[in-house]
């Protein structure tokens, strides 16, 4: 398996556009962005107790 080049990326984008349509893609990206944001917040809140104490000082 090699790296993804420009032709491969264009084919993937075309397939996604055909599957979901132009109106659905912004909604999918919004959902993906909020999911990543929630994951980052959960990861930040899940720090060990020692590290949290150092940040408070």
pLDDT digits (tens, 9 = 90+) for 35-54: 999 999 988 887 665 555 55
Q: Is the residue at 50 inside a domain?
A: yes
Number of domains the chain is built from: 1
Q: Is the residue at 27 inside a domain?
A: yes
Using 50, 70 and 90 to split pLDDT, how confident is the model at 55? low
Q: Is the residue at 15 inside a domain?
A: yes
Inter-residue contact 25 to 16 (CB < 8 Å):
yes
Domain encompassing residue 52: 6-56
Dist CA 16 CA 1 (whole Å) = 21
Q: Is the residue at 41 inside a domain?
A: yes
Q: Is the residue at 28 inside a domain?
A: yes
Q: Is the residue at 1 inside a domain?
A: no
Q: State pTM to two decimals.
A: 0.51
Average pLDDT value for the chain: 83
Q: Is the residue at 51 inside a domain?
A: yes
**pLDDT at site 23:** 86
Task: Output the six-digit token pair for 41.
Answer: 């917040």
Q: What share of the chain is helix, strand, coil (3-state, %, to 5)?
A: 80, 0, 20
Q: Is the residue at 16 inside a domain?
A: yes
């Amino acid at each position: 398996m090699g790296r993804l080049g420009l032709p491969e990326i264009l084919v993937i984008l075309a397939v996604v556009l055909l599957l979901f349509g132009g109106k659905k893609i912004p909604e999918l990206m919004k959902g993906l962005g909020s999911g990543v944001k929630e994951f980052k917040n959960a990861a930040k809140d899940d720090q060990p107790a020692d590290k949290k104490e150092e940040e408070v000082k």
